[in-house]
A = this chain, B = another copy of it.
Amino acid sequence: MRLKKRAAFAALPPGFKSTFLDALTPPEVRALLRVARSVRISLHEVLQHEGEPARRLWLLGTGRVAVYRLRRDGNKLFLRWGAPGDAFGFATIVRAPARYLVTIETVQEGSILVWDSADCQALISRCPNLTKAVNWAVSRYLDGLIDVFGMCQFQTAEERLARVVVDSAGQLGHSSPEGIVVDLKNEEIALAAHMSLFTATRHLSKWQRTGLLKKYRGKIVLPSLSPFETITSDT
């Protein structure tokens, strides 16, 4: 992880969208960006490890991360993807001397903006909305987690998969002439849908035969989302 100069706000792309920053006023955003460090992140890098002291709040600028929890038996419990604009390391702010609750790993190289705990303490007094923004983000996170949990308890593999396809398209997909392109391997889709690679492959193949989507190595293309939303909602 290489450090870069401060004054990272120049690094924010023009069309950059962040639900987290949107909860702040423009002056507050500027105050944050002024003290942010921009850091390049490479593939398969662990950006925070559960149990370690929470030393920094950070925002994903470009790339993609996976949020999960490690279990004593070695399994990884996938929790969510992180896309550009998502913030992490809330423990740094929410409960001062704390430890990370989850592990976060890069699955696509990119860059992040970092604020260490000292910066955060200083910013809290200057930006009254900062704690509010963090609380909101935590709430949304909790809400989403409960939802995923419910999905895993009450929906079949096919329904879960359909939902993951829809959600991923919204969060990670980009448009193209043939439809929405989502850069995910079968293995990653299976992980997010909490099922085996084989079950995921079977249903995806079936949907390809039905013409609902097209599969390529490492990505899928969706002409339309509506059929999947149908699978998700009925039953």
Contact A132 B194 (CB under 8 A): no
Complex interface residues of chain A between 95 and 153 (CB less than 8 A to chain B): 95-96, 98, 101-102, 131-132, 135-136, 138-139, 141-143, 145-146, 148-150, 152-153
CB-CB nearest in chain B for A147: B69
Q: Contact at A154–B77, with CB atoms within 8 Å?
A: yes
Instruction: Please state if B77 and A132 are interface contacts (CB–CB under 8 Å).
Output: no
| Complex interface: chain B residues within 8 A of A96 (CB) | 132
* A91 on the B face (CB < 8 A): yes
- Alpha-carbon gap, A154 to B194, bound state (A): 10
Q: Are A150 and B77 in contact (CB under 8 A)?
A: yes
The answer to the question of A231 belonging to the interface, with a C-beta cut-off of 8 Å to chain B, is no
Judge whether A217 is part of the interface by a CB distance below 8 angstroms: no
Distance between A140 CB and nearest chain B CB, rounded to angstroms: 10
Proximity string of chain A (66-83) to chain B, C-beta cutoff 8 Å, 1 when within and 0 when not: 000101010101010000
Interchain CA distance A69-B194 in the complex, whole Å? 20
Q: A7 in the interface, Cβ–Cβ < 8 Å?
A: no
Could you tell me if B150 and A149 are in contact, using CB atoms closer than 8 angstroms?
no
Q: Is A43 positioned at the interface, with any CB of B under 8 Å from its CB?
A: no
Query: Which residue of the partner chain, among B73, B132, B135, B142, contacts A142 with CB atoms under 8 Å?
Result: B142
- Measuring CB to CB, which residues of chain A are less than 8 angstroms from any residue of chain B? 69, 71, 73, 75, 77, 79, 91, 94-96, 98, 101-102, 131-132, 135-136, 138-139, 141-143, 145-146, 148-150, 152-154, 194, 235
A-B contact pairs, 13 of them (CB 8 A): A71-B154, A73-B235, A77-B149, A95-B132, A95-B135, A95-B136, A96-B132, A102-B146, A131-B131, A145-B145, A149-B152, A152-B152, A152-B153
Given contact pairs A95-B132, A145-B145, a sample of 9 additional A-B residue pairs in the complex whose CB atoms are under 8 Å apart: A69-B150, A73-B235, A75-B154, A77-B146, A94-B138, A101-B142, A101-B146, A142-B145, A152-B152
